Structure 1
Amino acid sequence: MDFEIFISEKPQDGREITEIKGLPVFKPIQVHGSSVYFVGRGRKKPPHADALVTDNKGLWIGVLTADCLPVFLIGEGAVGIVHAGWRGTLKGVTFNAVNYMSRFTRVRRAILGVGICKACYEVGKDVKVKFPKEYERCFIPAGEGKFLFDLKEANRIQLKAAGVEVIADMGLCSVCNNDRFYSYRKEKTDKRTLSAIRIL
């Protein structure tokens, strides 16, 4: 299945993008949760959700990030997009999105977008202790009760657990590439990067 991905870059603020190439962009109200919402044909109000799925060729589905990880999901006749910060990851948002899509299509592959890399993402023990033991390898001790958290690996774990075999990584960190993308950690900004996908 053919699809197209769009990622906004500075100085453009992803929050202000309402259409790409003449097609509307559907964005959820993100709540760092695990809810998945299906975007069908009707015009709907933005849902409180952190993952979207659609089979509609007439629109883009997108999420806003400034360090959190966008995960693109490609199925047969459908696509998905996930907003995964540590809270959403803890709640299993990526696993839930694949599980939801798998009811009506096989998720052939996933692509990890622009998000904070493991070298830049320091968290406290308070975050580490919330995660079950299967995520142990995602935390590297950084001294003084701090850990470097591999958000991408944590989401890879969920993708594999949900049956996705092909997982690509764009290799773009929002902090390392702060000249191109917004990073809340680096610049405490309200502006966001828009990551969107559509079916061609």
Structure 2
Amino acid sequence: MTLLTDARVGGGVSFAFTERTGGVSRGDFASLNLGSSCGDDPAAVAENRRRALAAIGAGDLAGRLVCPRQVHGARVVGVTSSDDASVRAAQREAEAGADAVVCTARDVPVLLCFADCVPVVLVAPGGFAVAHSGWRGTMARISAATVRALCEATGAAAEDVRAYVGPHVLVDDYEVSEELAASFASEFGPQVVRGRRLDLSRAIALTLEEEGVAPDAVAWCAASTASSTDRFFSYRAEGGSCGRHGALACMRAGDVNGEARGL
């Protein structure tokens, strides 16, 4: 299993963007599919999630995993307590539909799943957040809403936030309709489009900068999911039949950090 992560994160936060290898799923979902709603065997998904959590030092916390039902919106769910009742309440709230989770509780792992959309992990003193930013979420500036929610939950300022943007479909592989390209150019400026090709990375960078996150506090994964299907799942490149890789994070009672690979 390969994890793309960053050893500089402190405060007990460990996070990773997974690749598609190292799991037990078969066929179109081979092998580390973390998505539970794409048609894979639930037992295989559970084992894959257990392996991914173990890789970031949270293998004992599978029952406490918060994994929202992603709805391509801009709703942010908060996890503020690690007691069992609060965790169950957060799990139910996330399953009702959300595209970002802010967590200030220790020993509560968070997972969001992807197959071309943009994973964004935010880390601040006292907490972290994971967001799913497809084109709808990017247009709705979910990354900005998540920064604000994280700062409110932790008391941090935006300049204290580090952002990590994971593997997603890059501009050269992302052709959209003329109408959508024009909408993004109107909303973010002409620099986010190249003809009919949409640069979600640039739109998210502009959003984070407008919200007060320093450009040099943002790390990027340079791989495009649509042209790297040996490493990542891609809904676009694989005709809609594929698994999901993940962005997952957890704040342990101790200072657990992954080895930096690939960002």
TM-score normalized with structure 2 length: 0.70
Q: Please give the root-mean-square deviation of Cα atoms over the aligned residues, in Å.
A: 1.6
Q: Give runs of aligned pairs for residues 76-87 of structure 1, distance below 5 A.
A: 76-87=125-136
Consecutive unaligned residues in structure 2, runs of 5 or more: 1-10, 21-30, 36-44, 54-58, 253-263
3-state DSSP class of the match of 1:185?
Answer: coil
One-letter code aligned to 2:79: V
Deviation, 1:8, is: 3.0
Q: Indicate conservation of the 8 Å contact 1:37/1:47, yes or no.
A: no
3-state DSSP class of the match of 1:6?
Answer: strand
Of the candidates 90, 93, 118, which is equivalent to residue 142 of structure 2?
Answer: 93
Equivalent pairs, count: 195
Q: Distance in 1 between matches of 2:107 and 2:183?
A: 40
One-letter code aligned to 1:171: A
Q: Which structure shows the higher helix fraction?
A: 2
One-letter code aligned to 1:174: T
Of the candidates 39, 48, 72, which is equivalent to residue 32 of structure 1?
Answer: 72
Q: Give runs of aligned pairs for residues 33-182 of structure 1, distance below 5 A.
A: 33-40=73-80, 41=82, 42=86, 43-44=88-89, 45=92, 46-105=95-154, 106=156, 107=158, 108-131=161-184, 132-141=186-195, 147-165=196-214, 166-182=217-233
3-state DSSP class of the match of 1:26?
Answer: coil
One-letter code aligned to 2:219: A
Deviation, 1:190, is: 4.2
Q: Distance in 1 between matches of 2:142 and 2:226?
A: 23
- Show CA shifts across 1:102-124 (max 9, x none): 21332521000011111111111
Deviation, 1:192, is: 0.8
Q: Kindly indicate whether residue 235 of structure 2 is the aligned counterpart of residue 184 of structure 1.
A: yes
Q: Indicate conservation of the 8 Å contact 1:53/1:80, yes or no.
A: yes
Q: Which structure shows the higher strand fraction?
A: 1
Deviation, 1:172, is: 2.4
Q: Indicate conservation of the 8 Å contact 2:104/2:153, yes or no.
A: no
Q: Indicate conservation of the 8 Å contact 2:188/2:203, yes or no.
A: no
| Residue aligning to 1:144 | none
Q: Distance in 2 between matches of 1:55 and 1:102?
A: 11
One-letter code aligned to 2:76: V
One-letter code aligned to 1:156: A
| Residue aligning to 2:16 | 6
Which has the higher mean CA deviation after the structures are superposed, 125-134 or 182-191? 125-134
One-letter code aligned to 1:4: S
Deviation, 1:14, is: 0.9
Q: Indicate conservation of the 8 Å contact 1:67/1:185, yes or no.
A: yes
- Show CA shifts across 1:106-153 (max 9, x none): 252100001111111111112123233433211001xxxxx1111111
One-letter code aligned to 2:227: C
Q: Distance in 1 between matches of 2:18 and 2:166?
A: 12
Q: Indicate conservation of the 8 Å contact 1:139/1:148, yes or no.
A: yes
- Show CA shifts across 1:29-72 (max 9, x none): 11110111102331121231101000122121121110000000
State the structure with more CA Rg: 2
Q: Distance in 1 between matches of 2:187 and 2:141?
A: 14
Q: Indicate conservation of the 8 Å contact 1:8/1:14, yes or no.
A: no
